[in-house]
Amino acid sequence: MAITGTKTKSENNSSQGYFINKCRIVGAEQQKSQYNDTSLKLTLEDSRNNYKYTCFINQNFEKDTNGIITGCKFPDDLNTLYLAAGKDLNVSDVGEINTVELANAEVACISYEATGKYKRQIWSVMSSWDNTELLEKSFKKQVDKGYPRNYKKPSNNVMVGGEAVSVDDVPF
């Protein structure tokens, strides 16, 4: 007998090229960005294996004529992060973010296989641990639109005799 035991369905979608990770925020640092008004560097620790991820949440702000911040511009990933963490977002008139609030907050993120220099990336949109279905649905919607641009779409090919063959062409 070649196989013994049973296998349960995993909540991760590794065959689709991405995983849903339930993490705890262990570090949050606001950084300057040459492309955005601010960038928030997050260090996330996976709840299953204590693996650490680094993610950047970039945000631009709406400002009045005096340069005073009045709101967040689209995409509102910073506000989404704070909602997922169950914390209140406070941004000062000059753009300082209350990062201390995020300590030990529990959030879910998506890591995906990427093209380019880094093999895995973290999508910059977060959700609560209880709302991973909505996070996955939102990610799939963005993939259909072509974002993130570095998402490596899974191949339907398998290797047979050293050749890549479509799964549909395999006789077994």
Largest CA distance in the chain: 75
Burial of 166 (C-beta count, 10 Å sphere; 0-12/13-18/19+) = exposed
The Cα–Cα gap between 116 and 123 comes to 15
What is the value of pTM for the model shown?
0.80
List the domain boundaries for the chain: 16-169
Cβ count near 34 (within 10 Å)? 5
Q: Per-residue pLDDT for the chain (172 aa), expressed as one digit of tens each?
A: 565 555 554 455 456 889 999 999 999 999 999 999 999 999 999 999 999 999 999 999 999 999 999 999 999 999 999 999 999 999 999 999 999 999 999 999 999 999 988 899 999 999 999 999 999 999 999 999 999 999 998 876 555 665 555 545 555 5
